[in-house]
């Protein structure tokens, strides 16, 4: 297990010694969009091309799964381009072994939808210890209603045996507001007879709906009095496509928050610019919170990539340097859904606010890669924050500056990266156990921090 160390003096003097020119940071393709592109390209018979794919370990788990089914992947241009050559989902190679989804909930849940529709085949899905403790019945139960046979360990966990069947359409309510559940059912719906409709009271991330038409799959989304209704009609199979993935907004958020907090803690920021980042209102809740806290978030050079909008993002420095953070009360499920992977980072920002903040509706955080709800509070408190868990809420009393000391990632990549950012801002030295897990979503994380001039060591 690797340890991250940083020494308070080093980073304070970096910021105080004047701003360095930091080139536009590229964080690499969005992980959620890449998973969807990989799946559609692997279903389509022929050759597809994915430009700027995410190189996250989670996406590599999806690639490895399809390799077992006979799909060939070829990276080129320094891993910036990926060619996908597939026999088409109806002609996958027979594979009786185990498909290991490693740490990736998106791989496990989305692949379950695909495997459920491969009639006459049985496949086995497994994952690492963290993934094997996460709930899977939320996907398996509606797939079973479509006709699949799925056996889960303990009724809700991996490993899973998935017996593909001829599926039929259903209407299903996405009551947990999980984009993975919605997407899994839509993938299964492509192979079903009839129509699959997913109804959600709040629109969850809609990347599949946006990218599927580029692969020739028509998805109908409409707002009704029940909320967002998304349908796919079975039988229109994906065809090969060439798509470009925008950069990952969740990975970009770590550097934006670091830069923003530098202006608050050190009175100066580096005005980093993150290039070509996905901007989608089902994902940008954190940006809106940063604006409400008092930061000036700049969007420039707007583009369209992979059916999505993208832009360069940055945090403007304030004329006086320091930004005092306004506390927030977040009591809307919709807002939480739009930043579900950024709640740990928001807690870090609000831990520096002047006053008390509350973020509610966080029960889903208990079933992420760790019990992120308890651990965000527990680990930040170890280094001087004042955060309480109250039911499914975080209650955060702002402090002027975090103290420093030791923290642990518990193998959760988003917790690890948030704690590293916290550590770079601490008043005293900081160390983090288990920092290698960052590559689950962001393999270039430490290189970018290094290019920004931050000093740290990893042992």
In whole angstroms, the minimum distance from the beta carbon of 208 to ligand S3P comes to: 8
- Ramachandran category for residue 22: left, alpha or beta (phi over 0 → left; psi -120 to 50 → alpha): beta
| Pairing assessment for the beta strands 98-100 and 122-126 based on DSSP bridges | parallel
Distance CA 146, CA 140 (A): 10
- Helical packing angle, 31-43 and 57-68, nearest 10°: 10
Residue 403 near residue 384, CB atoms below 8 Å: yes
Of 179 and 219, nearer to ligand S3P (C-beta) is 179
In whole angstroms, the minimum distance from the beta carbon of 343 to ligand S3P comes to: 10
Residue 308 near residue 57, CB atoms below 8 Å: no
The helix or strand, by DSSP H or E, that contains position 73, with its residue range, turns out to be strand 72-76
In whole angstroms, the minimum distance from the beta carbon of 441 to ligand S3P comes to: 8
Of 106 and 360, nearer to ligand S3P (C-beta) is 106
In whole angstroms, the minimum distance from the beta carbon of 116 to ligand S3P comes to: 17
Place of tokens 């719906």: 189
In whole angstroms, the minimum distance from the beta carbon of 178 to ligand S3P comes to: 3
∠ CA 8-10-11, rounded to 5°: 75
Of 31 and 123, nearer to ligand S3P (C-beta) is 31
Contact set with ligand S3P (CB under 6 A): 32, 35, 106, 178-180, 183, 205, 340-341, 364
Residue 264 near residue 239, CB atoms below 8 Å: no
DSSP E strand boundaries for 185-284: 195-200, 219-224, 227-233, 242-244, 273-279
**Token pair for 429:** 């030295």
User: What is the maximum alpha-carbon separation in the chain?
Assistant: 67
Distance CA 357, CA 398 (A): 8
Of 285 and 423, nearer to ligand S3P (C-beta) is 285
Of 180 and 393, nearer to ligand S3P (C-beta) is 180
In whole angstroms, the minimum distance from the beta carbon of 205 to ligand S3P comes to: 6
Catalytic residue list:
341
Residue 150 near residue 143, CB atoms below 8 Å: yes
Distance CA 299, CA 185 (A): 34
The helix or strand, by DSSP H or E, that contains position 57, with its residue range, turns out to be helix 57-68
Measured in whole angstroms, how far is the alpha carbon of residue 252 from the centre of its chain?
11
Of 183 and 442, nearer to ligand S3P (C-beta) is 183
- List the 356-359 sheet strands across, edge first: 329-330, 356-359, 393-397, 386-390
In whole angstroms, the minimum distance from the beta carbon of 182 to ligand S3P comes to: 8
Of 165 and 205, nearer to ligand S3P (C-beta) is 205
């Amino acid at each position: 297990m690797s340890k991250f160390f940083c020494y308070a003096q080093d980073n304070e003097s970096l910021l105080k010694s004047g701003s360095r020119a930091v080139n536009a940071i590229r964080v690499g393709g969005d992980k959620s969009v890449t998973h969807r592109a990989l799946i559609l390209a692997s279903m389509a018979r022929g050759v597809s091309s994915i430009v700027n794919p995410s190189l996250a370990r989670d996406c590599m788990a999806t690639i490895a799964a399809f390799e077992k089914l006979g799909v060939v992947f070829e990276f080129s241009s320094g891993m910036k381009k990926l060619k996908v050559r597939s026999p088409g989902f109806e002609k996958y190679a027979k594979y009786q072994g185990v498909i290991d989804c490693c740490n990736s909930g998106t791989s496990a849940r989305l692949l379950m939808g695909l495997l459920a529709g491969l009639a006459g085949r049985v496949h086995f899905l497994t994952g690492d210890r963290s993934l094997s403790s996460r709930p899977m019945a939320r996907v398996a139960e509606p797939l079973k209603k479509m006709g699949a046979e799925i056996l889960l360990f303990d009724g809700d966990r991996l490993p899973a045996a998935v017996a593909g069947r001829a599926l039929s359409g259903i209407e299903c309510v996405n009551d947990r507001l999980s984009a993975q559940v919605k997407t899994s059912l839509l993938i299964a719906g492509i192979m079903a007879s009839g129509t699959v409709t997913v109804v959600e009271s709040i629109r969850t991330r809609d990347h599949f709906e946006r990218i599927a038409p580029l692969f020739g799959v028509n998805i109908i989304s409409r707002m009704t009095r029940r909320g967002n209704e998304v349908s796919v009609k079975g039988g229109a199979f994906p065809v090969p496509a060439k798509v470009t993935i925008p950069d990952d907004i969740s990975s970009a958020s770590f550097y934006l928050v670091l830069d923003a907090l530098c202006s608050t803690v050190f009175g100066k920021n580096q005005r980093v610019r993150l290039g070509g980042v996905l901007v989608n209102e089902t994902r940008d809740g954190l940006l809106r919170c940063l604006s409400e806290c008092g930061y000036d978030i700049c969007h420039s050079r707007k583009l369209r990539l992979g059916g999505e909008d993208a832009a360069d993002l940055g945090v403007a420095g304030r004329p006086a340097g320091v930004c005092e953070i306004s506390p927030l009360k977040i009591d809307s499920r919709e807002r939480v859904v739009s930043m579900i992977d950024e709640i740990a980072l928001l807690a870090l920002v609000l831990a520096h606010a002047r006053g008390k903040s509350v973020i509610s509706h966080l029960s889903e955080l208990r079933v992420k890669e760790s019990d992120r709800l308890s651990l965000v509070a527990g680990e930040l408190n170890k280094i001087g924050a004042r955060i309480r868990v109250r039911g499914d809420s975080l209650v955060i009393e702002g402090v002027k500056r975090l103290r420093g000391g030791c923290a642990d990632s518990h193998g959760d990549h988003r917790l690890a990266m948030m704690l590293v950012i916290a550590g770079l801002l601490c008043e005293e030295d900081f160390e983090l156990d288990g920092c290698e897990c960052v590559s689950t979503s962001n393999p270039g994380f430490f290189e970018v921090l290094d290019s920004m001039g931050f000093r740290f060591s990893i042992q």
